[in-house]
Amino acid sequence: MSDKYDPKTIEARWQSVWDEARAWHVDNPSDLDVADPSKSYVVEMLPYPSGSLHLGHLLVYTIGDVVMRFRRRNGLRVLHPMGWDAFGLPAENAAIRAGGHPREITERNIVNIRRSMKRMGWWFDWDREISTHDPRYYRWQQWQFLRFLEQGLVYRKGAPVKWCPNDQTVVANEQVLGDGTCERCGALVESRVMEQWFFRITDYAQALLDDLDTVDWPESIKTRQRNWIGRSEGGQIVFRIEEWDEDVTVFTTRPDTLFGATFFVLAPEHDLVARIGSEEVQEYVRRAAAKKTKERAAAEEKTGVLTGLHAVNPVNGERIPVYVADYVLTDYGSGAIMAVPAHDQRDYDFAQAFGLPVRQVIRPAEGEAELPYISHSDSDVLVDSGEFDELPAPEGGRRIVERLEHEGRGRFAINYRLRDWGFSRQRYWGCPIPVVYCDTDGIVPVPDEQLPVVLPEVEDYKPKGQPPLAQAEDWVRTTCPRCGGEARRETETMDTFVDSAWYFLRYCDPENESAPFDRAPVDYWNPVDLYIGGVDHATMHMIYARF
């Protein structure tokens, strides 16, 4: 041996030996015993090929490589694959910066990153390599979409979104900078209601919550997910908007405070707000759209605008003024609240700022309390609450809901902070959504035998007034599979979170051409024994993958 370590020579030599022997490869065993104690599945979150490797990658993939080698040295059969999260905004932004086509730039980056990974000496099972932009992968994503659609777990509806008027596309909250501008182009982001595709993930909110008890994860990660799902018990209460003779439902965990409601608040994104003709209201909505959710929730100074409408409290028939205020968010309840300033700090601050009444309806059993009195002790009693006066607060709240339920103006309810997963994007570089629009038959799924619906070539893949796919007119014009008449393809694509929600399953059976994967190898290798990546993915990505 040489006394000097020469990495160019030594590393290249041994990596050549490993490659020739395919030392990094592991077969699926012929006997796929799901109880095999000698198996171990180590997987890192697959990277965006939107640039080159950086120090964050070196940390994550070195940890996985060390663990994989240690477990192999201890006699385990270890699966350690690699793939590419190749669709979506990061890859598209990289292509825009480089001045090339997203496919060209993405595939060039994949070649360079793969070369760097091999030079690092990391052992990945390259025989299982996948890329989300490969039609052989997203064909099965489209197939899954159709199964969800058949089961009613995919739907399309109008919903409030963040919209970049320059790039003409929806952006996620995380893509809006602190000053309310788009991280990609710097334009001021707007809030608007648009038709979007959704997964009905809320149907599984309780299952996602309960199953955290069965997952061997750090408690901090499970706490993040529990908070994101956000289960709370209370009542659905129906208020009537007097001027429109229309009902609005609010969710509250404190029905015992109903008699203390002195005003009513709609979030700027609430469906009703768009119907309010006041220019003052709409200007306020535009300003609110420029703020980030965390900024709105944490703001000490409360802002809002009077609508001229009144809500009728169902417990006492009192007319209370309706405001639009950005401290109310759409990620809780219905985006509308009954404001009880004597017993809620944010409502109290708003009432102080706008000179609104503060009516105490809960007090300690003994003595007085400084307002706002937030405590919810079993010894609290109701006051100034009509027939429910002097009842213990929890019992009084139950009786109030029971009365409203009898009158058809309320019911007991469980609410979740989790919202249905909106995944359609007005971008080119994503998985095409396999439906067509027919004037006769409406939304029609593309038949399985016509999958994959492959991205067409377009002259300009940047959104300009319409999704870029709309440029491919010959591709957009098609035939309805149901009636044979003229139809139009969907021109929106799926968000990259859909791509990354199931890749760890495809790794187990990557060459399967008749299904996304076969059950046997998935059952053998899963659950993943060690999953390595950023804690920032603990909520959205990892909840989506569990769904």
DSSP line for 309-374: EEEE-TTT--EEEEEE-TTS-TTSTTSEEEE-GGG-HHHHHHHHHHT------EE-SSS--PSS--
> Which range is most confident: 31-40, 210-219, 457-466?
210-219
Q: What is the pLDDT of residues 383-440, one digit of tens each?
A: 999 999 999 999 999 999 999 999 999 999 999 999 899 999 888 999 999 999 999 9
- Alpha-carbon distance of 403 to 34, in angstroms, equals 54
pLDDT tens string 158-194: 877 778 887 777 776 657 776 778 877 888 887 777 8
What was the pLDDT predicted at 449? Answer: 97
CA-closest candidate to residue 496, choices 167, 86, 49: 86
Q: What average pLDDT does the structure give for the chain?
A: 92
Cα separations in angstroms, 47 against 83, 120, 131, 191, 524: 7, 16, 10, 31, 25
Residue 76 has pLDDT above 80, yes or no: yes
Q: Can you read off the two tokens belonging to residue 145?
A: 């979409």
**Could you read off the pLDDT of 488-497 as tens digits, one per residue?**
999 999 999 9
Q: Where are the beta strands (DSSP E) in 132-278?
A: 154-164, 169-171, 190-199, 231-241, 246-252, 263-266
Q: Over 90: is that where the pLDDT of 197 sits?
A: yes
Task: Please name the helix (run of DSSP H) or strand (run of DSSP E) that holds residue 82, with its range, or none.
Answer: strand 81-84
Banded pLDDT at 88 (limits 50, 70, 90): confident
The pLDDT tens digits for 358-380 are: 999 999 988 888 999 997 788 89
Which residue's entry shows tokens 């994949």? 110
Which pLDDT band holds residue 531 (cuts at 50, 70, 90)?
very high
Asked if omega into 160 is within 30° of 0 (cis), the reply is no
In sequence order, the β-bridge partners of residue 156 are 197
Confidence label for 2 from pLDDT (cuts 50, 70 and 90) = low
Q: Is residue 187 a contact partner of residue 169, using CB atoms and an 8 Å limit?
A: no
pLDDT, residue 459, reads 83
Identify the band that residue 93 occupies on the pLDDT scale cut at 50, 70 and 90.
Answer: confident
pLDDT of residue 174: 58
